[in-house]
Amino acid sequence: MKLKRVLSFGAAAALAVCLSVPVMAESTPGEQIANVTEKPGATMEEVGTAVAAMTSVYQNSQEAVEIPASVTDQALRYFDMAEEKYAEGYTSVMAKGQGLGVTWRCGTGASVKVTSHTYGTDNGVVTVVAEAVGAESAYGYSLTVQLDPSMNYTEYTVTEENGDVAFESTAKVKAYLSDNGYKKIVTFWVPHFTTYILTPVTGNTGSTESTSASTSAPVTSAPVADDGIVYYTCQACGYHNWTATEEGYRCDNCGYIESQKQLSGYGNVKGVYSPKTGTENPIKATGSDMSHVAIVVVALAVAAACGMGYAAKKSGKAE
C-alpha cells in the first residue's frame, strides 16, 4: 500500500508540473514589449506577437489608456518590417492604402477610411479624421501624414480628440526627396480609430530657406547626375551616405537601417553588408510560441505520470 501511495503522489506531482509549465511560460504584454525592445535582432514574428498582445489590451480597455513610447516604437518597428516584406510581394503580412494625403498600414482583413485631413497653415496643427473598416487590426494602425514642406516643425505630439487615448511619445517629422520634389511626413501609431490631433512642439513657422537640418537635406541629398555615380537615397531623410554595420547599411545622417538591399555598388557607401535572404512568410496566425524547454518538460511529466500509473497497477496485481 505504501508503494501505491508513493506512486500516486509521484503521478500527481508529475501532472501538476505538466499543468503548471504552460502558465509559467506565459509573459504579460508589457513584458513582451520590453523583451523585443531590448532585442535589436528580434524577428518580425516576435515583434508582431508583442505588439498584437499590447494592442488587444488597449482595444478592449473600458477606461482611458496612456501609451508609453516603447509600445509606439515597437508598433512602428513591426510595420516597417512588414513594409519590407510587403514590397517583396508578401501582401498577406499587412494591408496598405492611402487617401487625402494620409497613408495607412494595418493588419490584413482591416482597412481605413480617411474622411478628412486638415493642416493649419497658421499654427501647424494637423487633424486626421478616419474610421476603421472591416475587421479591427490586430496590430493597430500606422498613419503617415503628408505635411506642408514649407513649414519647419520637426516634432509633433499626438492626442485623441475625446481623450480616451494619451501618448507619452512624440512623432518626429521626416524629410525626403521624391520624384515630385521635396516632401515632409510625420508617422504615428494608434490602437484604434477616431479623430487624432497632431500639435507641433518644436521648430519655427518659416520657409524652406531655414538652415535647420531637415530643410538642408535637398541641397546635399540629390544624386549628382554628371559624375557618372549612382547614389542610393535614404527613404527616411533624403541623404545618400551609408556605412555597413552588423544590422545593415546605416544612413550616416539619420541612422536609418537598410537591411534588405545590397548597396555596395552605389556611391558614398563604406563597407559591405550581406542582406539576409529568405522566402518564408514570417507572420503566423498563432500567438507566442511555447519554448522548446517547456515542451520537453511537459512530455517528460506526462511520460512519468503514465509510467508511475502502470507501475502502480502492476504492483497491485502482484499483491
Q: What confidence tens digit (pLDDT) does each residue in 26-56 have?
A: 789 999 999 999 999 999 999 999 999 999 9
Q: How far is Cα 166 from Cα 184, in angstroms, rounded to an integer? A: 24
pLDDT of residue 152: 83
- How much is the CA Rg of the chain, to the nearest whole Å? 26
Amino acid identity, residue 130?
A: A
Vertex 55: Cα angle to 50 and 60 (nearest 5):
135
Beta strands 152-160 and 249-251: pairing type? unpaired
Amino acid identity, residue 129?
A: V
Residue 119: which H helix or E strand, with range?
strand 110-119
Number of C-alpha atoms within 13 angstroms, CB side, residue 212? 20
Q: How far is Cα 179 from Cα 318, in angstroms, rounded to an integer? A: 87
pLDDT of residue 129: 94
Which residues face 111 on adjacent strands? 133
| C-alpha cell, 225 | 547626375
Nearby residues of 317 by Cβ (< 8 Å), 6 or more positions away:
none
Q: How far is Cα 26 from Cα 306, in angstroms, rounded to an integer? A: 26
pLDDT under 70: residue ranges of the chain: 1-25, 202-228, 235-239, 277-319
Amino acid identity, residue 291?
A: S
The count of other CB atoms within 10 Å of the CB of residue 5 is 10
pLDDT of residue 120: 85
First to last CA, the chain: 9
pLDDT of residue 299: 53
pLDDT of residue 239: 67
